[in-house]
Amino acid sequence: MHSPGKQTRCRGCRAVVPALHGPTDPYFGASPGCWAIYGEVLAREYGEYSFPPVHRMTLDSYALQHPGRPSRKSIQSVAIHLTSLHFMLERGLDAEQATEAMRRLLLSLVEFQWLEPPPDFGPLTVLDVHEANDLAGHSSTVCRWAESVWDAWSHHHEIVSRWASAID
């Protein structure tokens, strides 16, 4: 847990996070404080929660709220994480099925393009997930977070659906 102190806005999701100096992912566009909180959420998922079914949505939601700048890696990251949410939220696939569908999509040689991020990534962030007190609250918050992130990217749903249909 982070103690209150100096705060800053994450340059990715815009959440108010601890103003830390430290590591972050080189292409996600997250502030070190946000990256640290995400690490704590992942540690809880890998450990205490024994890799819950919502883990895929945690990865997708965080990545999509921190899309970075256009580069080959960022373009593919945004495309794959959006398509993953499409598979789960629109097609009703579970996390394992969505992951397999994404693998097939990557092998299909679909050419992805940079999708301009929305001006607002939705009302929920990794901070909301971090505040959950138990697995049920965590899972419920992750599902709501994923839905809000998916809705935030709605202006690209049509192209994401076309990408997803490449494996039909």
Q: How confident is the model at residue 25 (pLDDT cuts 50, 70, 90)?
A: confident
126-146 average pLDDT score: 97
114-135 average pLDDT score: 96
Quick one: DSSP state of residue 156?
G
Residue 27 has what pLDDT?
Answer: 74
| CB-count exposure of residue 5 (10 Å: 0-12, 13-18, 19+) | exposed
Q: 55-90: b or e for each residue (b if 16 or more CB lie within 10 Å)?
A: bbbbbbbbbbbbbbeeeeebbebbbbbbbbbbbbbe
146-160 average pLDDT score: 98
pLDDT in tens, 62-88: 999 999 889 999 999 999 999 999 999
Residue 29 has what pLDDT?
Answer: 82
Residue 109 has pLDDT above 90, yes or no: no
Q: How confident is the model at residue 102 (pLDDT cuts 50, 70, 90)?
A: very high
Residue 4 has what pLDDT?
Answer: 59
109-115 average pLDDT score: 89
Residue 1 has what pLDDT?
Answer: 46
127-133 average pLDDT score: 97
CA-to-CA separations, 143 to 54, 97, 138, 162, 168, in angstroms, rounded: 7, 17, 9, 24, 25
- C-alpha of 137 from chain center: 18
pLDDT in tens, 30-53: 999 999 999 999 999 999 999 999
Residue 168 has what pLDDT?
Answer: 82
To which residue do tokens 């992912």 refer? Answer: 25
Nearest to 28 by CA among 88, 77, 72: 77
Residue 81 has what pLDDT?
Answer: 96
Residue 26 has pLDDT above 90, yes or no: no
| Phi, psi (degrees; rounded to nearest 5) at 94 | -80, 175
